[in-house]
Structure formats: structure tokens, C-alpha cells
A and B are shown apart, each in its own frame.
Chain A
């Protein structure tokens, strides 16, 4: 915890200096925390906060968007390579590599979610009747990319965990029915089919694509190690056997135990294992396509949204949007949907990344993205530091130093709280087990409270900078 504070502090210093030096070109400088650590004290006492303007803060934020979505895209492309390789040749090494690639891909994406809740590309990017990209709230790819809980039973075989799904009459809805099994209703599994069926029959609950679909196809249901489902969970993640991807065409030559294709209790039909591989590849392809479109919208040279976003006349509205997104991700989404429901109801289904038991990272990364936005800082996947004018500096420039310091302290406090959840998970007790244990629940409630406190201060910042929601609403009404 102490380390993190130090690192964070030194990053701020670097960020501040970089922003100060050059405004028109954001040069990514390598992080060298080891060397800087000794200078932290001096830097903190001597640094003069550079003047930030609303325009420069928004512009730096647009560069953050492009960087974080580009990282998300590249890591999804790496995931796609790993998945393709695994499906072609299902060795244990390739299986591990695909899972690791998925975990890697979550790291930048989690830090990008602070760009939600503002009618930006992630929530609103779609094509108009002429086939041109445009923004229409609610029509964006976010759901297809990251929706949860997943309707895993509609994708592949599952063991009945609580049953009681009683809607729809099609084969796919019947007990044991699913898209991979049902080759009559879904003869060809393609990225287009999955895009079309992302919410099967228009049911919001029938999510069949995105990160969590890939996660499910790699890890399988998060059952206990003995493949049972009980109210009292064990520490293990999903247990999908590698043989689920064995086909007559790709059977590993070194398969010593004579194992062939498996599909849970549905038997071992080669066609189903083939279709599972096809589904996994197609759904990963779809993720890459969706992220590509978001990256393109944020591309500084050609992205239509980037160019709108950084226009001076939109700066105040976009600063308001940045703060609103920070507040709404902090409280409604992260503290609310992603933490409080799971911990209050002891519900594994309401855990974000339940198949891989990676929820602790989702939580930490979301919180990090909020802090990144405030400080105008982002550490890229390659380790390079990207920084620019920040809301923190802007508050100080506008004479709200006390609020700036309090807000930063609140964000740091949250990071400390979510780090505890992260560390406990890394030590072996995953989030879905933490929510079952009184002592660890306290840590989660503490993180929820910290997120609440930072949200209050974010609202104060909205007022202090006079970019209130009221103004934003008027802007949207004018646009309609």
C-alpha cells in the first residue's frame, strides 16, 4: 500500500512535468519509478502546478481515450491470435496462453470504462441509414463487448445451477439447448450470426458475445473443483477441460490418455467440439471488430468523434462529461452493480468476471481508470507513461486547491481499498469467496463507502468548475 502511494505520487510528478513541457505533442516517457522514488519528497515540495485550461484537459483526455482503446484493441488482437492457435492446436500450452491473453486483454479495457455513460463511441457508436458512423445513445457496441451476466446456458453446455429459466419455445431455450449444440437453428456460427443474436430474441438477459462469452468458452462454468455447484463455493475458477476443443482434425499427437472431444453431459460429438471452436474464434473476431470501430472513432487524425471532442466550443460540455462519467462509474456501476449487489446477495452470477475469477482486477482497473481521468495519466500496456493536463491541475488553476487535494486523496483512498480486495484475491481467495466471508465483506463495504465519498467530491468538482449536469442537459436538448 505504501509503495503504491509512492508510485502514484511520482507518476503525478512526471505527468505534471510532461504536461508543462509540451502541450501540442504528448510524448510518452518511460516510467522509471525506481529512480524517481528518492526524489518524491523534493518534487512534491518544489513543483508548481502548471496552468491547465478546460481545452487542454479535454484534449489530454481524448488522447487517453485513443491510447487506452488502442491498447484494448491490440491486446484483443493478441487474444485472437492465441485463440486461433489454440483452436487449431489444442495443447495445454496453447490453452494456458489463450487464457493469459484474455486476462491481459482485460487490463486496458477495464481502464477504458471511464469513457462510458456519456453518449460516447463505446455507448453510442453505430451506423446511420447511409452506412456512415454516427453516435446514437444506447446503440453502441458496449453491450456486445462487455455485457454481463452472460447467458452462458444459451451458448454452450452448462450444469444447472439454479434452473428456472422458462422463456421461449425454440429448441435453444429447452433444458440443455444452446447455440453450439443446435446446428438446426444455427447451421453456421459466424461473427455476423453472433452479432445478430447478441441479445437472443431481443432479450436483454440473453447475452451471447463479448469478453465474458470468450471467458466462458475458455474457463467454463465456475463450479467447484469436484465439478459440483454448491452454495458454499471453493476457491477455484472454471474447469473447462481442454478436450472440449478436441476434434478429429486437431487431436494432439501427444495425447497420451486417448481422450477425445467432450461436451459435458451432452456426449462427445465431434461436430459440437468443432462448433465450439468456431464459436470461440468468431466471438473473438467480433470483439476485435467492435474495438476497432471504437478506436477509429477516437483516432486523432481521422476519428470523427475525436475531432468533435477536442473542439474548443465543446470543451466545457466534455469536461462535464468526463466528471459525470467518473461519478457514474464510481457509484452506480462499480460500487453498485459490480460490488454491492454481489456482496449483498452473495450472488456469484452478479460477479463481473465469474468464470475466470478475475473480478478483483475489474474492480481495481475501473477505479484506476477514474483516477487516470482525474490526473490525466495513463500507463500504457508497454509500460510507457502518457500524461497531459489534468482536472486536478485545472481545479488548482481555478483556485480550488483544497477541493483538488481532497478529491485526489479520496481517489487514492479508494485505490487503497480496492487494492486490498485485489491482493486478497491474488493470495488465493477470489472475489466470489470474499463475498461469503464476514471479515472480507467488510473490505468490500469499505471500498463501496470510499467510492461514495469520492463521488460526492466529484460532484463538488462539477459545481466548482461550473460544468453542472444542468448545462449538459441543455446542450443535448439543443442538439436534438
Chain B
């Protein structure tokens, strides 16, 4: 194994030397040469055996595409500092009318809203999507979760009958400023809309060893829930901790043709590689049309609009035309009573009007993706280590789920209609800036079984089991990545492959951010080691790499 990899490495060096020499020749000639050669010689340097009808030359495992440094084609931004995730696509900036809508959406994304709550996790989009990037795990158990939360339900995928589908940590009580955190039985005994429950995480240290003898340490999360304000949970309660993911690039992901995603699906693992990605479907909230669910960590929403409308209601308690009911269940009378007191004067009985919603949708869709680092535009050369890491990425079969490349197609305008600064029109103009772009998101947007299982118990602070009472805390312990809570079409151990573009800038944008769906991984390396289930073989490949290879792989991932 080491021998072949070394050979591969040599090959890469040679190829990059070639690239260096033949820099000035025209691109089309280059492409022609490449494809001719690969046809004549062999196809075992192709990343995939399947053909996707996108008109692109096959993706090669041993040579980056000429445009691979542009993560999102013309949707790429050159900004790579702490504002890297907050840039508009250049073609939007260049068009004052579109730039204005982007900025208006950005403004609303950062703002609090009249009529928020009664229950909420944060008061603005930006509060969770910190600088348009990831949220963070609170640094201590005393700090309420504000850019992560726990979803809640049962082991069959039903929502919790009293608490709904997510635990909102903050509530609203007239006369008290800010979000009011939970108080045990507070809503029941006092009739006030307290936050639903207090949630926190404790970590167990788990250690392991790479094949070369180097050790690593992981943080295994234990989720704890106390101060249930609206009464006990059902017996079969399950929790799913989520840290807010980034939002940039979502409009491009939305514009990948459905059939190109399906080309990578292999639900019955016909190719016998142990990986069986399958699409989840959802209904469009307005048209009712069945579509692939691309968004949400367990793939439950099919469009940026559906995703943001859900977040407005669920995370902020801001109702809108897509989700018009307040985030209270029928069983939460204190919440419903508080909702009655809300200031709903603005927009036909909902908290957010469609102009704002459409502007925020446009904003989310047109956020650019940062360019790759480690590529020298003047010489057209990649850093050696990144090339070596790229080879490792393909060798370990990471690309089977983290599918590198697509070409976007149509990007229809919002179903709400075209939006300008002050109004909506009936027209639906395509967002040209999102169309026909070769993008490198590193995801298949499909569901994969990542292994593991969970157990929920009720315990006193000393760990003894209990049945009820203020001191009786709900505790969730999981093996592996599973959350124990099916959602949509995803099972209790399935997750949608998250995109990796921009990965290397996560902690540049938010130094407190960590990795994986619940932020348990402090580094990209830890995130890889947590992979299991369908990714077991790839994870093992990583464990078996030597230090140089691991470092190269991490350099590659860090350059995304």
C-alpha cells in the first residue's frame, strides 16, 4: 500500500510539472489532450464509474480540474478571512438592483423581529449562523445553548406530543426582558411561557490509536435535559443535538439537477462498496410537488425557502406565510396564551411578511463560497501537500459520499415571486448567477447510515436512576453518530452527507466553532475518526494512514 501511494505521489509531481510547463496553451486544447489520453490509456484514474450527463470531463483522482480552486465557479469569493462566508456572489454585487435585495436580506438575517417567540432558540438568523457560518457549543454547562439545540421526538419518528419537534430553550414572559429560560413546571404551575427545558452537554474522553501508534482523544457527548417547564416527556423520548450549519452556497446546492444527485444514489448497494446512499423526499410547501430533500441535517427540506421558513418558526418563533402557526403545541397552553399577546399587526396575522422572507431567501441563495487556498493562480500550481492529500481523499473513498463536483442547471426565481426593495411581483426570474456553474461542494446530499445507537435514561445528579421530580434529569448516551431519533425519511442512525466546501475556514470565521452535526469534534481529524457505518472502511483507511498521509489529507480538507 505504501509503495503504490508513493508511486502515486510521484505521478502527481510529474503531472504538476507538466502543468507548469504547458501553462500557456489554450484550455480547450488541454482538455482535448486530457480526454484523449485517458481514453487511450485507462479509465482507472476516474473518480466514478458512473456517467453523469453534465457535459464535464470525468473527474480524475490523480489530477485536479483546471477550475478546482474555484469552489463554486463564478459563485466563488476570494475573501478568506473571518468574513469569508458573508460575501455575495460577484454577479449579484455587480447588479445594483440585486445587490440591494441581497443587502436587504442580509439586514433582515441579522435583525430581531417583532412577534418572535413565544418559544425560541435565538432571536435572529445570524445569532445561530454566526457570521453566516456554524454555531457553537456553549463553553460551559451554565451557558444556555443559543446556536445549537436538541430536536425531540420518539424512536419511531413522531414528534413529542407536548414539546413538538425541538426544544426551545428560551420563552417569553411579559415584563421580563430577554429570553426566559426554563423553570421546572413553570408553564404548568404559573401559566407563563417559560423556555421549554434547559439542555446541556457533558463530554466523556475517549482515546484511541492510529495504526502508526499515535494516539488521539475524542469527546463523546452526553446530553442532559432538566427544568421541564411543560411537564414530563413521553417515555420513549429521543433527542437529536444539532449545531447550526453554515448557509453559504445553499442556492447552488439547490440548483443541482435532481437526476445528477440520483445518479450517485445506490440504495441497495449494487456496486458492493458498502455505501448505499439514498435520497430523501419531501413535498414542496407551496406547490406540493415531490422533490429531493437537500437541506437539514437529516434531509427534510427540499428548498432554501422551506428551510428558512421552518427556521423562522421553529428557531425564532417568527411565523410566516409558509409556517403560519406559532411554535406551540396544543398542549402548551401557556405558550398559546402568550402567543395571543404578540404584536401581530404587521402582516396578515403572521410575524414576517413575504417581502422579508423572499429577501432572506435571496440572500441565502446568493451567498458565495470561499475559494480554495493553496493554489497559486499565477503559476497554476497546487501546493504539493494538498495534491498528496487529494490523492488520499480519493484513495480512502471519501468521495463516494462527499461527491466533489456538479454542474448547476436552472435556478428559478422564488415561488413567492421576484422581490425588490419594497414589493413582490408575479414574475419569477431565474437567478442567472447560480446557473451553469461547475461547483465543488463535496456532498451527495443523500442519506447514509453512519452507525451507532442511543439510550435515554432518567437519572439523579449522582447517576442513580429516578422516575420523576425536579431532580430527575433526562440523559441521552449514544454510541457513534446515531441520534436515536428518525426524522423525515431518515432512520435513527442516518445522516445527510454535509457539504465540505469552506470547511477549512470554519474556525477562521468562528474560532469557537467545532465539527459534525452536534459539534463534538474539535478538529477535522476528530470528525473523520467519528465516521462509522457506511463510512467504516474510509475511516479505517484514515486510521491506517501514516502521519505524512494523514497530515496531507488534513491539509487537503483544510484547503476546501
List the interface of chain A (C-beta within 8 A of B): 137-139, 160, 162-167, 169, 175, 202-205, 231, 324, 327-328, 330-333, 335-337, 340-341, 343-345, 347, 349-350, 445, 448, 452, 455, 458-459, 469-470, 473, 476-477, 480
Instruction: Known A138-B79, A202-B510; judge A336-B103 contact (CB<8 A).
Output: yes
Give min CB distance, A119 to chain B, whole Å.
11
**CB within 8 A of A332: which of B102, B126, B179?**
B102
B123 at the A interface (CB under 8 A): yes
Please determine whether B178 and A163 come into contact, CB atoms closer than 8 angstroms. Answer: yes
| Residues on B with beta carbons closer than 8 Å to the beta carbon of A138 | 79, 81, 83
Give me the 5 closest cross-chain CB pairs, A-B, nearest first: A469-B94, A163-B177, A332-B100, A336-B100, A340-B421
Contact with A along B128-159 (1 / 0, CB 8 A): 00110000001110111010000000000000
**CB within 8 A of A204: which of B104, B110, B117, B355?**
B110
Give min CB distance, A453 to chain B, whole Å.
11
Give min CB distance, A93 to chain B, whole Å.
36
Extra pairs beyond A166-B122, A350-B107 (15, CB < 8 Å): A164-B112, A164-B120, A164-B179, A165-B112, A166-B178, A167-B146, A175-B177, A202-B82, A203-B130, A205-B126, A331-B421, A335-B421, A336-B107, A458-B96, A473-B90
Interface residues of B in 436-476 (CB under 8 A from A): none
B111 at the A interface (CB under 8 A): yes
Residue among B79, B90, B111, B177 with most chain A CB within 10 A? B177
| Residues on A with beta carbons closer than 8 Å to the beta carbon of B239 | none
Please determine whether B377 and A175 come into contact, CB atoms closer than 8 angstroms. Answer: no
Please determine whether B356 and A345 come into contact, CB atoms closer than 8 angstroms. Answer: yes
Please determine whether A205 and B107 come into contact, CB atoms closer than 8 angstroms. Answer: no
> Which residue of chain A lies nearest to B78 when distances are taken between CB atoms in the complex?
A480
Please determine whether A175 and B131 come into contact, CB atoms closer than 8 angstroms. Answer: no
Number of A-B contacts (CB under 8 A): 117
Give min CB distance, B182 to chain A, whole Å.
13
Instruction: Known A335-B421, A336-B421, A345-B356; judge A350-B111 contact (CB<8 A).
Output: yes
Contact with A along B150-180 (1 / 0, CB 8 A): 0000000000000000000010100011110
Please determine whether A169 and B343 come into contact, CB atoms closer than 8 angstroms. Answer: no
CA distance A137 to B143 in the complex (A): 35
CA distance A204 to B124 in the complex (A): 12
| Residues on B with beta carbons closer than 8 Å to the beta carbon of A169 | 138-140, 142-143
Please determine whether B96 and A330 come into contact, CB atoms closer than 8 angstroms. Answer: yes
A-B contact list, 23 entries, CB within 8 Å = A137-B79, A138-B81, A160-B177, A164-B112, A167-B122, A175-B177, A231-B343, A328-B96, A331-B99, A332-B99, A332-B103, A336-B101, A337-B103, A337-B104, A340-B422, A344-B422, A349-B111, A350-B107, A448-B422, A455-B97, A470-B94, A473-B94, A476-B78
B240 at the A interface (CB under 8 A): no
Give min CB distance, A127 to chain B, whole Å.
14
Give min CB distance, A330 to chain B, whole Å.
7
> Which residue of chain B lies nearest to A163 when distances are taken between CB atoms in the complex?
B177
Please determine whether A455 and B96 come into contact, CB atoms closer than 8 angstroms. Answer: yes
CA distance A166 to B421 in the complex (A): 29
What is the predominant secondary structure among interface residues of chain B facing chain A?
loop
CA distance A459 to B97 in the complex (A): 10
Contact with A along B340-379 (1 / 0, CB 8 A): 0001001000000101100000000000000000000100
Give min CB distance, B485 to chain A, whole Å.
25
Residue among B100, B102, B140, B142 with most chain A CB within 10 A? B100
Please determine whether B112 and A452 come into contact, CB atoms closer than 8 angstroms. Answer: no
Please determine whether B103 and A166 come into contact, CB atoms closer than 8 angstroms. Answer: no
> Which residue of chain B lies nearest to A469 when distances are taken between CB atoms in the complex?
B94
Residue among B111, B116, B142, B144 with most chain A CB within 10 A? B111
Please determine whether A459 and B96 come into contact, CB atoms closer than 8 angstroms. Answer: yes
Please determine whether A162 and B112 come into contact, CB atoms closer than 8 angstroms. Answer: yes
B191 at the A interface (CB under 8 A): no
Contact with A along B178-201 (1 / 0, CB 8 A): 110000000000000000000000
| Residues on B with beta carbons closer than 8 Å to the beta carbon of A164 | 112, 116-117, 120, 123, 172, 177-179
**CB within 8 A of A166: which of B83, B144, B356?**
B144
Please determine whether A327 and B96 come into contact, CB atoms closer than 8 angstroms. Answer: yes
| Residues on A with beta carbons closer than 8 Å to the beta carbon of B131 | 202, 204
| Residues on A with beta carbons closer than 8 Å to the beta carbon of B78 | 476, 480
CA distance A40 to B417 in the complex (A): 48
| Residues on B with beta carbons closer than 8 Å to the beta carbon of A452 | 97, 420-421
Residue among A139, A160, A166, A169 with most chain B CB within 10 A? A166
B127 at the A interface (CB under 8 A): yes
CA distance A205 to B127 in the complex (A): 9
Give min CB distance, B492 to chain A, whole Å.
31
